Amino acid sequence: MTSGDGWCAQVEVCCADMWDAYHEAAQAKLSNVRRVVDRFHVMKNLNEALSKTQRSIQNQANEDTKALLKGCRWLPFKNRENMTGEEREKPDKMLAASPELKTCYELKEGFRHWLIQHSDWHTDKVALQD
């Protein structure tokens, strides 16, 4: 099947990363589609922002807080359900040491949970039409 105007008119959703050129091309060739950003790149950006915040907080922290944060560099990026028992204790202590880091982490996790919610095809289609 060729990807001519008829085919393009049937496309309902276009998923791409956040690069503007992809969305501009979709707008030009698939003018009737709902354009969405893929969740991998959204989570990547959220994790990068969390990492930047974490480094900034650690650099400005007092010695006690620095000691508490030491060795926790990658824990905010690991899914809690994949952590070992020992690893599960560290994020709570780390987040208690910094309200700003806790807020960032909770926002990232809330968004991650929202992204992984399972729904059926019909529910997704209705949501896209809203």
pLDDT score of 97: 81
Structural domain boundaries of the chain?
7-37, 40-116
pLDDT score of 128: 67
Residue 53, C-beta contacts closer than 8 angstroms, at least 6 positions apart: 100, 101, 104
Residue 23, C-beta contacts closer than 8 angstroms, at least 6 positions apart: 16, 35
Task: Assign 13 to helix, strand or coil.
Answer: strand
Q: What is the mean pLDDT of residues 50-60?
A: 88
**63-120 pLDDT, tens digit each:** 988 887 777 777 777 787 888 887 777 777 788 888 888 898 888 888 888 887 766 6
How many angstroms separate the CA atoms of 116 and 110, rounded?
10
Mean pLDDT for the chain overall: 82
Q: What is the pTM of this model?
A: 0.67
Instruction: Match 């529910």 to its residue by tokens.
Output: 123
